[in-house]
Amino acid sequence: MAKKWGIAAVVLYAAYAIGMYFYIFHGASGNIPATLKGTVADPQTFMTERELYLSEEYSKIRNFLFFVVTPFEWLVYFLILFTGLSKAFEKWADISKKWRFVKNGAYLFLLYLFTTVLFYPIDVYRYQLSKNYGISTQEFSSFMRDYIIDFWVSFGTTLIVVLVLYWLIQKSPKRWWLHAWLLTIPFAIFMMYIQPVLIDPLYNDFYPLQDKELESKILALADEANIPAEHVFEVNMSEKTNALNAYVTGIGDHSRIVLWDTTLNSLTDKEILFIMAHEMGHYVQKHIYIGIGAYILTILAGLWLISKIMPWLISKFGTALKIEQMSDIRSLPLLLVLVSFLLFVSNPISNLVSRYQETRADEYAMELTGDAQSAVSTFQNLAKAGLSEVNPSFLVKVFRYTHPPMLERINTVAKFAVKNETIPETENKTKNSAEHTEAE
């Protein structure tokens, strides 16, 4: 029975991967709408032919990897169960008859190490892909350093979660999901609080913005937005990437506005001020706290669904999966599959909310700066630096894009500029297309 299920899972995955290959490389279309051709939103107006080619090629490969690697993880976990490897891990981890948490911790380490080694070639390929296309500048030794740090940080946080979770499942088989959710709230807030000061510095060096003149401009902008800010931080990402970025992280007195040094080196002060105004828009509109609330509610729904689905799967297919009861640590691969699957299928909703928030932040930045020219050039430079797909296909946008595609962001700026009559004369073609879009 287990062998048949394993073969069926492999065949199903292969069929899915082939289907996604044809969709991504031959079926998906991200053509520029006729109304936007020749405008500043059209990548042909700001990218070279080589950049256009590399952008299309690089995006397709990355999109294909996204859609096939996550289901491949599910396949691996199912095969670990079907083949009895999970049961073997449990047996090897049984080094303490008295302390169950020692056994569970040892099992997790074996599983984590096994899957890390298994997926290592894929991670190296992704690194090399980014390097080949000129996005990554990171040396392999630095990549491996980050890889090892990430292993132990991820394992440490997962260990805490798994030990507590299986202890709750054992103690309260019916209500474990509710107790786990209640514990998740302070844990999630604690992790968000310490990440900027304890976790992020493990990977990069953070320091106050060295350009004090620019910092004064940013702080003046923050003051105009009624945001209490004393420092802006920069991070030395040029050692690892050519991509551009800025973000807000943390909560409370540990919250930070962070600029990558690649952004500082590649954009003008006006463009950087627009990016900062965008990040301030997230703060003013309380997107961080809305995100925390949505995350907590999502965890509640996910834990409740797992509490219903997992016992049912074990009762129906426990023999093939070699799982006797949910409280057995050998059931962890099944739990991880369910968590990953629920996160994957919820991507369209979470991404939709995120894209809405990003659009609101763009609009806020336009209201605060009134600088349409810098907004457009910022988005163009971001697209060029990251070889971004300006107008992705439907499934790619729905499942992958937490930000609106650059085509939409530039057009949003154009519509805002038309509405407020601040659009530069050099962007008349964009103005016409924006008016056309509004008429539709």
pLDDT of residue 166 exceeding 90: yes
263 and 291 in a common domain: no
- 26 labeled part of a ligand binding site: no
Residue 339 neighbours by CB under 8 Å, 6+ apart: 302, 306
Residue type, 299: I
Q: Which residues face 52 on adjacent strands?
A: none
Same domain, 168 and 303: yes
User: What separation in angstroms does the CA of 80 have from each of 66, 77, 117, 212, 337?
Assistant: 22, 5, 14, 55, 11
Q: Contact 322/84 with Cβ under 8 angstroms?
A: yes
Please state, in angstroms and rounded to a whole number, the distance separating the CA atoms of residues 389 and 183: 40
Q: Are residues 327 and 255 in the same domain?
A: no
Which range is most confident: 43-47, 93-97, 258-262, 312-316? Answer: 312-316
Residue 224, pLDDT score: 81
User: End-to-end distance of the chain based on CA atoms, in angstroms?
Assistant: 57
Residue 435 marked as a ligand binder: no
Residues 123, 258 share a domain: no
CA distances from 145 to 151, 152, 170, 363 (A): 10, 11, 37, 39
The pLDDT value recorded for residue 196 is 76
Where among 241, 262, 284 does a domain terminate? 284
Rounded to 5°, the CA angle 412-414-415 comes to: 65
Instruction: Please give the mean pLDDT across all residues of the chain.
Output: 86
pLDDT value of residue 420: 67
pLDDT of residue 414: 77
Q: Output the pLDDT for position 221.
A: 85
**3-class secondary structure, 372:** helix
Q: Which residues contact 266 (CB under 8 A, 6 or more apart)?
A: 244, 381, 385
Give catalytic residues, as residue numbers. 279, 362
Domain-terminating residue out of 253, 284, 315: 284
Identify the pLDDT of residue 254: 62
- Give the per-residue pLDDT at 255: 66
Instruction: Indicate whether 322 and 342 sit together in one domain.
Output: yes
Structural domain that includes position 53: 2-199+286-439
Q: Give me the number of domains the chain comprises.
A: 2
Residue 232 to residue 256: CA distance in whole angstroms? 7
Q: Note whether 290 and 254 are same-domain residues.
A: no
Q: Read off the pLDDT of residues 208-242 as tens digits, 9 standing for 90 and up.
A: 888 889 888 888 888 887 777 677 888 889 999 99
Q: Are 133 and 124 a contacting pair, CB within 8 Å? A: no
Give the integer Cα–Cα distance in Å for 120 and 122.
5
End of a domain among 284, 307, 334? 284
Average pLDDT score over residue span 392-398: 92
Largest CA distance in the chain: 77
Which CATH number characterizes residue 249's domain? 3.30.2010.10
Least confident of 141-150, 243-252, 257-266: 243-252
Cβ proximity of 377 and 271 under 8 Å: yes
pLDDT score of 77 more than 90:
yes
Q: What is the mean pLDDT of residues 351-367?
A: 92
| Residue (of 31, 47, 45) closest to 429 by Cα position | 45
135 vs 128: CA distance, rounded Å: 10
Whether residues 160 and 11 share a domain: the answer is yes
224 is in an annotated binding site: no
Residues 169 and 259 reside in one and the same domain: no
In the sheet that holds 233-235, the strands lie side by side as 206-208, 233-235, 256-260, 246-249
